Amino acid sequence: MTAPERPLRADARRNREAVLDAAGELFAQRGDAVQMDEIAERAGLGVGTLYRHFADKQALLAAIIGRRFEAMTALARAADEADDPWTAFETLLYGYLESAEADAAFRFALLGPGEPRWTDIAAEKTDLSAITERVVRRAVDAGRLRADFHGDDFVLITRGAMANMTCTGDWRRHVTLLLEGIRRER
């Protein structure tokens, strides 16, 4: 059994957020080429402070994903409250993608060359997955989504759309075409 994590002191919490903000900006600009010392410099901190919070680049990327998943989970909870199952599904899908569109570092962390370290953000991933599965199941049960659609398919759609979030990509068109293929008309 592990000891419960103590809350961070205010200065340590500020440092952690500064590192995440700096890393987010740099990963969004330059992808995996960013070095940890550059992130520390951008955050206005020493590299030792950065490594006290994040053991390596993969841990930092996991934290970026975790931070976005927390926001996505709040969005998923709000979508889950919609009475109409299709509205809940569309609200979750578009809300997730609009949030990802504004966060290039999150997209890089998910779609980049390295596999995310899911164990570092297991709680965040579990929460979002459970709500997403519930929203999807409601839409399937209501006959609004194809019967064989499940939560993992939601991930496929979002990753495909995120891959089209480039200066010339039209992710909304991508999603429209996909939705026309999976939606069941009443």
Q: How confident is the model at residue 6 (pLDDT cuts 50, 70, 90)?
A: low
Residue-wise pLDDT for 10-63, tens only, equals 888 899 999 999 998 898 888 778 899 999 999 999 999 999 999 998 889 888
Per the listing, tokens 């609009």 go with 98
Instruction: Count how many Cα atoms sit within 13 Å of the Cα of residue 98 in the half-sphere of its side chain.
Output: 8
CATH class label, 66-182: mainly alpha
Q: Is the dihedral of CA 40, 45, 47, 50 positive or negative?
A: negative
Amino acid type, 78: A
Q: Six-digit token pair at 124?
A: 């965040």
pLDDT score of 32:
77
| Separation of alpha carbons 184 and 139, rounded Å | 10
CATH class label, 7-54: mainly alpha
| Separation of alpha carbons 79 and 73, rounded Å | 10
Residue 59 dihedral angles phi and psi, to the nearest 5° = -65, -35
- Residue 104 burial by Cβ neighbours in a 10 Å radius (0-12, 13-18, 19+): middle
Q: Which of 25-39, 96-110, 135-149 has the highest mean pLDDT?
A: 135-149
Residue boundaries of the structural domains of the chain: 7-54, 66-182
Instruction: Count how many Cα atoms sit within 13 Å of the Cα of residue 102 in the half-sphere of its side chain.
Output: 8
Amino acid type, 21: D
Phi-psi region of 38 (alpha: psi -120 to 50; beta: other; left: phi over 0): alpha
The torsion angle over the Cα atoms of residues 150, 153, 155 and 156, rounded to 10 degrees, is 170
Residue-wise pLDDT for 58-79, tens only, equals 889 888 888 888 889 999 999 9
| Separation of alpha carbons 150 and 154, rounded Å | 7
